[in-house]
Amino acid sequence: MRGNQQRDAPRARRDLRGNVSVLVIAVMVVAFLLCTAVARLGFGVAEKSRANNAADAAALTAADVLASGAMPADACAAARHTAVDNGARLLTCRCRASSAETGSTGSAAAEVTVAIGDARAWARAQVDAPVIAGYRAGAAPGESK
Protein backbone atom coordinates (compact mmCIF):
# COMPACT_ATOMS: atom_id res chain seq x y z
CA MET A 1 0.00 0.00 0.00
CA ARG A 2 2.80 2.27 0.75
CA GLY A 3 3.96 2.24 -2.82
CA ASN A 4 0.56 3.37 -4.07
CA GLN A 5 0.56 6.36 -1.71
CA GLN A 6 3.95 7.49 -2.98
CA ARG A 7 2.82 7.21 -6.59
CA ASP A 8 -0.39 9.15 -5.88
CA ALA A 9 1.36 12.03 -4.02
CA PRO A 10 2.65 13.88 -7.16
CA ARG A 11 -0.82 13.65 -8.73
CA ALA A 12 -2.39 15.23 -5.58
CA ARG A 13 0.10 18.11 -5.72
CA ARG A 14 -0.65 18.70 -9.37
CA ASP A 15 -4.37 18.87 -8.62
CA LEU A 16 -3.81 21.64 -6.04
CA ARG A 17 -1.69 23.88 -8.28
CA GLY A 18 -4.68 25.43 -10.09
CA ASN A 19 -6.36 26.45 -6.84
CA VAL A 20 -3.92 29.30 -6.28
CA SER A 21 -4.75 30.79 -9.69
CA VAL A 22 -8.47 30.73 -8.91
CA LEU A 23 -7.85 32.37 -5.54
CA VAL A 24 -5.69 35.12 -7.11
CA ILE A 25 -8.36 35.84 -9.73
CA ALA A 26 -11.05 36.03 -7.04
CA VAL A 27 -8.96 38.49 -4.98
CA MET A 28 -8.33 40.61 -8.09
CA VAL A 29 -12.05 40.76 -8.89
CA VAL A 30 -12.90 41.81 -5.33
CA ALA A 31 -10.14 44.46 -5.38
CA PHE A 32 -11.43 45.80 -8.71
CA LEU A 33 -15.00 46.01 -7.39
CA LEU A 34 -13.83 47.84 -4.26
CA CYS A 35 -11.82 50.33 -6.32
CA THR A 36 -14.81 50.94 -8.58
CA ALA A 37 -17.08 51.54 -5.57
CA VAL A 38 -14.61 53.99 -4.00
CA ALA A 39 -14.22 55.86 -7.30
CA ARG A 40 -18.01 56.15 -7.72
CA LEU A 41 -18.37 57.39 -4.16
CA GLY A 42 -15.68 60.01 -4.74
CA PHE A 43 -17.35 61.12 -7.96
CA GLY A 44 -20.67 61.48 -6.14
CA VAL A 45 -19.12 63.60 -3.40
CA ALA A 46 -17.42 65.84 -5.97
CA GLU A 47 -20.69 66.20 -7.91
CA LYS A 48 -22.58 67.18 -4.73
CA SER A 49 -19.91 69.77 -3.90
CA ARG A 50 -20.19 71.25 -7.39
CA ALA A 51 -23.99 71.39 -7.04
CA ASN A 52 -23.66 73.17 -3.67
CA ASN A 53 -21.30 75.74 -5.18
CA ALA A 54 -23.60 76.33 -8.15
CA ALA A 55 -26.62 76.75 -5.85
CA ASP A 56 -24.76 79.26 -3.66
CA ALA A 57 -23.63 81.28 -6.67
CA ALA A 58 -27.11 81.26 -8.24
CA ALA A 59 -28.81 82.34 -4.99
CA LEU A 60 -26.32 85.16 -4.43
CA THR A 61 -26.74 86.34 -8.02
CA ALA A 62 -30.54 86.34 -7.77
CA ALA A 63 -30.50 88.22 -4.45
CA ASP A 64 -28.04 90.77 -5.84
CA VAL A 65 -30.09 91.39 -8.98
CA LEU A 66 -33.29 91.64 -6.92
CA ALA A 67 -31.66 94.07 -4.45
CA SER A 68 -30.66 96.31 -7.33
CA GLY A 69 -34.34 96.90 -8.10
CA ALA A 70 -34.99 94.30 -10.79
CA MET A 71 -38.12 92.20 -11.04
CA PRO A 72 -38.15 88.65 -9.59
CA ALA A 73 -38.34 87.17 -13.10
CA ASP A 74 -35.11 88.99 -14.03
CA ALA A 75 -33.46 87.75 -10.82
CA CYS A 76 -34.44 84.16 -11.62
CA ALA A 77 -33.15 84.57 -15.18
CA ALA A 78 -29.80 85.74 -13.77
CA ALA A 79 -29.78 82.79 -11.36
CA ARG A 80 -30.48 80.40 -14.25
CA HIS A 81 -27.59 81.90 -16.23
CA THR A 82 -25.24 81.56 -13.25
CA ALA A 83 -26.31 77.96 -12.67
CA VAL A 84 -25.64 77.10 -16.32
CA ASP A 85 -22.23 78.82 -16.12
CA ASN A 86 -21.45 76.47 -13.22
CA GLY A 87 -22.54 73.37 -15.11
CA ALA A 88 -25.90 73.00 -13.33
CA ARG A 89 -29.53 73.39 -14.23
CA LEU A 90 -31.88 75.54 -12.19
CA LEU A 91 -34.84 73.55 -10.86
CA THR A 92 -36.60 76.13 -8.68
CA CYS A 93 -36.19 79.82 -7.99
CA ARG A 94 -38.16 81.94 -5.52
CA CYS A 95 -37.35 85.59 -5.00
CA ARG A 96 -38.76 87.99 -2.44
CA ALA A 97 -38.00 91.67 -1.93
CA SER A 98 -39.09 93.75 1.02
CA SER A 99 -39.15 97.49 0.72
CA ALA A 100 -37.48 99.82 3.18
CA GLU A 101 -39.76 100.87 5.99
CA THR A 102 -39.31 103.65 8.49
CA GLY A 103 -36.01 103.08 10.30
CA SER A 104 -35.27 99.75 8.64
CA THR A 105 -33.54 98.61 5.49
CA GLY A 106 -35.04 96.81 2.52
CA SER A 107 -33.75 93.36 1.69
CA ALA A 108 -33.86 90.87 -1.11
CA ALA A 109 -33.92 87.11 -0.63
CA ALA A 110 -33.63 84.29 -3.11
CA GLU A 111 -34.01 80.53 -2.74
CA VAL A 112 -32.83 78.25 -5.51
CA THR A 113 -32.52 74.53 -6.15
CA VAL A 114 -30.06 73.28 -8.76
CA ALA A 115 -29.02 69.88 -10.07
CA ILE A 116 -25.84 68.50 -11.56
CA GLY A 117 -26.40 64.93 -12.69
CA ASP A 118 -28.06 63.12 -9.79
CA ALA A 119 -26.86 65.64 -7.18
CA ARG A 120 -29.30 68.31 -6.04
CA ALA A 121 -28.52 71.34 -3.87
CA TRP A 122 -30.56 74.10 -2.26
CA ALA A 123 -29.33 77.55 -1.24
CA ARG A 124 -30.79 80.73 0.17
CA ALA A 125 -29.25 84.20 0.06
CA GLN A 126 -30.44 87.44 1.59
CA VAL A 127 -28.96 90.83 0.79
CA ASP A 128 -29.72 94.21 2.35
CA ALA A 129 -30.42 96.68 -0.42
CA PRO A 130 -28.47 99.65 1.09
CA VAL A 131 -25.39 97.46 1.51
CA ILE A 132 -25.47 96.57 -2.18
CA ALA A 133 -25.84 100.23 -3.11
CA GLY A 134 -22.83 101.07 -0.94
CA TYR A 135 -20.69 98.40 -2.59
CA ARG A 136 -21.62 99.64 -6.03
CA ALA A 137 -20.69 103.17 -4.98
CA GLY A 138 -17.29 101.90 -3.78
CA ALA A 139 -17.88 102.17 -0.02
CA ALA A 140 -17.03 99.41 2.41
CA PRO A 141 -19.77 98.12 4.72
CA GLY A 142 -20.48 100.58 7.52
CA GLU A 143 -18.61 103.34 5.69
CA SER A 144 -20.33 106.33 4.16
CA LYS A 145 -19.14 108.45 1.26
Please indicate, yes or no, if residue 145 is contained in any of the structural domains: no
Please indicate, yes or no, if residue 106 is contained in any of the structural domains: yes
How do residues 74-130 score in pLDDT, each as one tens digit?
Answer: 999 999 999 999 999 999 999 988 765 544 467 889 999 999 999 999 999 998 766
Domain assignment of residue 100, given as a range: 2-137
pTM exceeds 0.85, yes or no: no
Query: For position 67, what pLDDT does the model report?
Result: 86
How do residues 30-50 score in pLDDT, each as one tens digit?
Answer: 999 999 999 999 999 999 999
Of 85, 69, 75, the closest CA to residue 112 belongs to 75
Phi, psi of 87 (to 5 degrees): 80, 20
Please indicate, yes or no, if residue 18 is contained in any of the structural domains: yes
94 in helix, strand or coil?
Answer: strand
Domain count of the chain?
A: 1
Please indicate, yes or no, if residue 143 is contained in any of the structural domains: no
Q: Helices 129-137 & 2-67, crossing angle to 10 degrees? A: 80
Please indicate, yes or no, if residue 142 is contained in any of the structural domains: no
Please indicate, yes or no, if residue 49 is contained in any of the structural domains: yes
Query: For position 11, what pLDDT does the model report?
Result: 58
